[in-house]
Chain A
């Protein structure tokens, strides 16, 4: 089995950059959630690659708990998004900014 750890880490960095660009660029709250999921997945890939490379299962455990945290984050976050949508009628961040400076 060829060692692909370097390629995995490079791919993880690329995916994290994509998620970060999405967080910085998008204005819709739902798209911000999608970008956050991409970043979490990128860290999962890096954790799994390092874990397999070192022969230590702790990295895969961390990835597992990251998945659990992401699941609960999505559950609570979607509830909050629904409340925000019911209250303001939009998910656009420009319309949601209530502090006028």
Chain B
């Protein structure tokens, strides 16, 4: 039964990803990529990796494909990239504080008293997949989990700063640019 489901999923995924790679139209390739992601979560469900399948559904076919869809909408605006220079001391101060804060954040749970690293693989046989993953993720892989959380935060901030031109302009107080709208405002 699982073999039949696997072969159906495998053929569909291979076909969809071939369409993704060799299609001329970006919209077609993005749609087939999203469909392939959904079917790959089916592969995870077949081998009882339930949590991974759910994460695949939520993150890949939910978040990442929505990001691609939104990103494609941005590809109409055509303006030059402008850079702004900030104070070097401010950058050094902020990065120093950030480094200290990161070290404190990541080392705080590792020196806590209630985290036991040892009993990972033993005694997890009676749990189902989601419970076992929770038990492993918050003991053995706690620090990578936190690093991944901070990395996602940094990526979110980087995406906002890179993609939104308005916010970038409002952050710099003294701004002399070649943006046509600001030039109109300056002329008035």
Interface residues in chain A, defined as those with a beta carbon under 8 Å from any beta carbon in chain B: 1-2, 4, 7-8, 11, 14-15, 18-19, 21-22, 25-26, 28, 30-31, 33-35, 37-38, 41, 44-45, 48-49, 51-52, 55-58, 60-61, 63-65, 67-76, 78-83, 85-87, 89, 91
Contacts and interface: CB of A to CB of B under 8 A. Distances in A.
A21 B148 CA distance: 29
Interface residues of B, number: 67
B155 A64 contact: no
Interface string B134-167: 0011001100100010011011101111110100
B13 A85 contact: no
B3 interface: yes
Given A34-B29, A82-B74, A74 B132 contact: no
A71 B33 contact: no
Interface string B79-117: 111000000000000000000000000000000000000
Contacts of B165: 86
B64 A71 contact: yes
B155 A49 contact: no
B21 interface: yes
A64 B60 CA distance: 11
Nearest to B58: A67
B67 A78 contact: yes
Contact of B136 (A55, A61, A72, A91): A61
Interface of B: 2-3, 6-7, 10, 13-14, 17-18, 20-22, 26, 29-30, 33, 36-37, 40, 43-44, 46-49, 51-52, 55-56, 59-60, 63-64, 67-68, 71-72, 74-75, 77-81, 120-121, 124, 132-133, 136-137, 140-141, 144, 148, 151-152, 154-156, 158-163, 165
B14 to A, nearest CB: 6
A61 B47 contact: no
A1 B141 contact: no
Nearest to A1: B2
B162 to A, nearest CB: 3
A63 B163 contact: no
A7 to B, nearest CB: 6
A99 B39 CA distance: 41
A54 B80 CA distance: 53
A83 B81 contact: yes
A81 B47 contact: no
A19 B21 CA distance: 7
